[in-house]
Amino acid sequence: MADKMHIKLTVNGTEEEFLAEPRELLIYTLRERLNITGPHIGCETSHCGACTVTIDGKSVKSCTMFAVQASGKDITTIEGLGTPDALHPLQEAFKEHHGLQCGYCTPGMITRAAKLLEENPNPTEEDVRFGIAGNLCRCTGYQNIVKSILAAAATMNADASSSSDAIGQTKVEAAE
Partner 1 sequence: MIPAAFDYHRPTDMAGVLSLLSEHGDDARVMAGGHSLIPLMKLRMADVPHLIDLQDVEGLSGIDVGETIRIGAMVTQADIIDHTGLTASAPILREAALQIADPQVRYMGTVGGNVANGDPGNDMPGLMQCLDAQFTLVGPDGERTVPARDFYEAAYMTERGDEEVLTSVSFAAPKGGYAYEKQKRKIGDYATAASAVQMTKDGGTCTSASIAMTNLSDTPIFSENAGAALAGSTVDETAIKAAVAAALADIDPTEDNRGPVAFKMHVAGVILTRAITRAWSRA
Ligand X SMILES: Cc1cc2nc3c(=O)[nH]c(=O)nc-3n(C[C@H](O)[C@H](O)[C@H](O)COP(=O)(O)OP(=O)(O)OC[C@H]3O[C@@H](n4cnc5c(N)ncnc54)[C@H](O)[C@@H]3O)c2cc1C
Q: Which of 14, 37, 46, 170 binds ligand X (CB under 6 A)?
A: 46
Cα distance between residue 114 and residue 80, in whole Å:
11
Residue 5 interface partner, choices ligand X, partner 1, ligand FES, none, CB cut-off 5-8 Å depending on type: partner 1
Question: E strands of 12-68, at which residues?
Answer: 14-20, 52-55, 58-61
- 109 to 22, 71, 91, 96, 142: CA distances (angstroms): 28, 24, 10, 16, 10
Cα distance between residue 58 and residue 122, in whole Å:
19
- 145 to 3, 130, 173: CA distances (angstroms): 44, 13, 42
In 3D, which of 59, 133, 128, 57 has the Cα closest to residue 97? Answer: 128
Q: How far is the CB of 82 from ligand X (least distance, A)?
A: 28
Report the residue number whose CB is nearest to ligand X.
46
Residue 139 binds ligand FES (CB under 6 A): yes
Task: Give residue 154's region: left, alpha or beta (phi > 0; psi -120 to 50).
Answer: alpha
User: How many residues bind partner 1, per CB under 8 A?
Assistant: 30
Residue 57 binds ligand FES (CB under 6 A): no
Decide whether 87 or 139 has the Cβ nearer to ligand FES. Answer: 139
Decide whether 51 or 153 has the Cβ nearer to ligand X. Answer: 51
**Segment interacting with partner 1 (CB under 8 A) among 9-17, 64-72, 78-86, 150-158:** 64-72
Residue 100 binds ligand FES (CB under 6 A): yes
Q: Which residues in this chain contact partner 1 in the complex, by CB under 8 A?
A: 1-3, 5, 21-23, 25, 44-47, 49, 52, 58-61, 64-66, 68-69, 112, 116, 130-134
